[in-house]
Amino acid sequence: MSVLPIYTIDQPVLRKKARPVRRMDDALVALAADMIETMRKANGIGLAANQVGVLHRVIVVDLSAMEETKDFGPMALINPEIYHEEGKLVMEEGCLSIPDVREDVERAEVIRVRYKDLEFKDHDEEFAGLPARVILHETDHLDGILFYDHLNALKRKLLRGRLNRIRKGEIEVNYPIVSGATSNNRLQAQAV
């Protein structure tokens, strides 16, 4: 397993819609394992494939480090499709692609999801509370939506300074990232 670099807010791959997985293969199983390793290294609880630069509809979730959800995870959801939502719950969210930014977001409290597992078997499950929130957050990523897109215009405006620091690479994280600053450094290094 490998720790993959996580793409930050300024990277175009985060705004693209991921493609459905048509068949399971060893490369996809390895991707899911690497995503779980990456998520753990970054102290995250969810990760979408486009956050590591891959446009496949794959998310991973692991809530087992928290007492209230210690039996949840790790798991990979292939082609997750949320087809039912009920209730509303406001909770603070953050994102590995937007380090050090946390805001309250309203999402459904209960969801029903169809997905495939790593053996490409079909599942249809209900999730509530934090598991539902993480799956909603990560599924948004697969559609090119970031959590701050759910914030009102004033809150987004207030975040501009912090988001610009992320874009410039003026952040410290304990995991590898790809940001505008690192992309520019790579281009400059290749030009020399």
Q: 175: burial class by Cβ within 10 Å (0-12, 13-18, 19+)?
A: middle
Alpha carbon distance 159, 145 (integer Å): 17
Contacts of 138 (CB under 8 A, 6+ apart): 46, 47, 48, 59, 60, 61, 77, 80
**Residues assigned a catalytic role:** 138
Q: How many residues does the chain have?
A: 192
Alpha carbon distance 87, 104 (integer Å): 16
